[in-house]
Chains A and B, each alone.
Chain A
Amino acid sequence: MTTSERAMTVSRGTGADHGAAAGHGTGISNPILGMLLFITSEVMFFAGLFAAYFNVRAAAPAWPPADLADKLHILPLVGPATVLLVLSSFTCQIGVWAIRRNDRRGLVRAIGVTFVLGVTFLAMQAIDYALLYEDGLRLDSGPFGTTYYTLTGFHGAHVLGGVLMLGVVLYRGMAGQFSSRHHDMVEATSMYWHFVDVVWILLFSLLYLLPGTGGGH
């Protein structure tokens, strides 16, 4: 209890400093606006990768190539991983709603679940990679392999980044550093996590649901 009290004092102290420095603190807070802009730049980063994917795909005679056509269907874990990631977006939001009500226990519980779901997603993706690799779909096996691993790999790296941020939120949440008035980091992290989720939904639709072209299917 003393720990959390001290944490509250500290957070109130920095909050006051911040208010004085920022002058008039109305509207969206600086960190959240910063995160929104950062996400905008991330959207453009993935836009570049997606553009390359469509460009290479449109030029290919068959997509996926005939010798790799059946490989992507063998993945037992992609469906569950997708469900878990979408679920984690909800648990993350539940955490945000909890801290807006000043419910710290709720925050820690929800973010803890989100964190575990994120790690599970990464583990499942790693197993998928191993299976695909054994089956001969590699980074250097033609444009199909290159785009597949680049797109999913960079998404995975962003999931990892999100998991690290969730870890910090979890740690600080357990230390009692967030309150209904002071939880910009929770909001910002949750925005980032939703973004990572949306990118995965697009990627999943593109790689697994969009019908192939040419002789592949």
Chain B
Amino acid sequence: MATTALTPAATTYRTGLYEWLTTTDHKKIGILYLVNSFIFFGLGGLLALGVRAELAVPGLQFVDEQLYNQLFTMHASFMLFLFVIPILAGFANYVVPLQIGAPDMAFPRINALSFWMLPLAGIIMATGFLTGGGAAAAGWTSYSPLSQDAYSGTGMDLWIVAVVLIGTSSILGAINFLVTIFKMRAPGMTMFRLPILVWTALVTSVLVVLATPVLASALIMLFIDRNYGGHFFDPASGGNAVLWQNVFWFYSHPAVYIMILIGMGIVSEILPVFSRKPLFGYKAFVFATAGIGALGFSVWAHHMFTTGAVYLPFFSFMTFLIAIPTGVKMFNWIATLYRGQLTLSTPLLFALGFLSMFLLGGINGAFSAVVPVDFAIHDTYWVVAHIHYVLFGGSVFAVFAGVYYWFPKMTGRMLNETLGKIQFVVMFIGLNLTFFPQHQLGLSGMPRRIADYSSTAGWNDANLWSTIGSLLIAVSILPFFWNVFISLRGGSIAGDDPWEGNTLEWATSSPPPPYNFDRLPDIHSERPLFDARHRREAVPALTVGPDASGHAEISAALGRPHDSPDSGSLAKGMDRSHGQ
């Protein structure tokens, strides 16, 4: 089973819960990120069910308008700030140090700090429901004057504090990733041998470092306006309401790439493994990722076409331009699959779901880039459909692809394939049933963020279908949780490398030891494990490279033998693990 022949882990003086609460191990912190994010995914999902229940038929059945506003605001806030962004950071936290052959992140304690701000922020944000005025209700965009103290209560202040905390956590995390990726790569791991996931984490981190502080400044200005009589966003006394939109979207447009790039990285790790081919066009992919990051800063005002305060031709042009690097990626993914030897395991299914749904989300997004069309569909359900095809069909499918792909590495056990496929099929149908009719709703003029609509508006059928779809999505989560539960207890043993992966995380045990690697294979390409598995001539591992002695020192310090067998035996070991 264990082909890397580990001696038992170093004895730890912290056990159980205390260890998890105080850990600075990037793998445990990564898992904490995932668990915390899934909790808020569940809560945000329940809020969404509340929204859909209210909209199923015309009339106000369950909630009043005020509570409805809180529901969709907190749904979006949980999903964006406490689920999508952190869970992708969580994957990166777990995988990036392993994939670059590092023992941990560059700043392990700051890493723990970044994580622990998140549950704190989540609790602060959710506390809004307990205050007199209720939780934040101005939409996740918190446009002024809706978010000013005249129209919203303490929940809004708690929301601001929480988002500032989450932003701080993101910035510290991003700095940590950048230093880790720039400084902690194993010998031989040059920048153009980095796995694509690491590249996407790098570009995401650059976006976070440059964009998130601007959101923090916007939130602080809003806080001053609300609590200390400031005049940043109040036109009546010389402020500017559109200023909020500019500063907010200057962050929040790059943020949509923060919410998808690592997802693209996950898919780019999975497609080559399950089609038994290298990724098509590695460098094109890297430059496309960097291009999305750079162009991401020049398109924020396409959220503000109808304000009349932005230069439409420029932002429309840039928005079309940013579709090009995304198209390059789509081409590369499809070319990777083309004539590959596909293994239709659950990770690949979710990755294929990502490809198809993200494509739809890209296409319906391109409509909104056309200024006259956007004037017609702005703030309608078309936009809701678009964001959910991109974020649910895109990011969430990528998240589940990643969970099914790396769960064996994280726990040492496989997830159940049958339950996984059931989850995929139900979720795929539910997603399309929920969000496809919303295109039609948007085109026929249904505005977003309304609690009620006229029964004669012609929106009844689509809304009912949409609500049924949302229930299907909720149902599809149940086999997933059941799957995790039973697999943790009795899933089949994964071994080091159940998928015949390409990247370094599969070169160590499952789960990896706290220090990650006893020894590393030679790194001559972006697929070091593929090289090790299929090497024709036996090249002794770890006898070349400036760092060979360093690893020997670590092994010696940890009291285990460090004389590395040649890579031929490593490859044989790999084969043996697959023979089981």
Contacts and interface: CB of A to CB of B under 8 A. Distances in A.
B553 interface: yes
A34 B550 contact: no
A180 interface: no
Contacts of B562: none
Contacts of A21: 103-104
A79 interface: no
B237 A143 contact: yes
A24 interface: yes
A13 interface: no
A154 B221 CA distance: 11
A30 B180 CA distance: 8
Contacts of A139: 224, 228-230
B175 A37 contact: yes
B568 to A, nearest CB: 25
Contacts of B557: 20
B499 interface: no
B253 interface: no
B106 interface: yes
Most buried by A among B107, B186, B230: B230
Contacts of A145: 231
Contacts of B238: 56, 59-60, 142-143
Interface in A124-143: 138-140, 142-143
Interface of B: 102-104, 106-107, 171, 174-176, 178-179, 182-184, 186-187, 209-218, 220-221, 224-225, 228-232, 237-240, 243, 246-247, 250, 546-547, 550, 553-554, 557
B109 to A, nearest CB: 12
Contact of A143 (B179, B220, B239): B239
Contacts of A59: 238, 240
A45 B243 contact: no
A23 B187 contact: yes
A37 B209 contact: yes
A143 B175 contact: no
14 contacts: A20-B554, A21-B103, A24-B550, A34-B176, A37-B174, A37-B178, A41-B174, A41-B213, A46-B217, A52-B221, A55-B246, A60-B238, A150-B221, A150-B224
A132 B260 CA distance: 48
A151 to B, nearest CB: 10
A33 B183 contact: yes
B214 A146 contact: no
A20 B103 CA distance: 10
Contacts of A150: 220-221, 224, 230, 232
Given A49-B217, A51-B247, A140-B231, A37 B240 contact: no
Given A22-B183, A44-B209, A142-B238, A34 B231 contact: no
A18 to B, nearest CB: 10
Contacts of A44: 209-214
B240 A55 contact: yes
B182 A33 contact: yes
A34 B232 contact: no
A20 B553 contact: yes
Contacts of B187: 23-24
A29 B516 CA distance: 22
A42 B210 CA distance: 9
A208 interface: no
Given A24-B187, A143-B231, A34 B106 contact: yes
A40 interface: yes
- Which 6 residue pairs across A and B have the least CB separation, nearest first? A140-B229, A48-B217, A45-B213, A48-B214, A44-B213, A146-B230
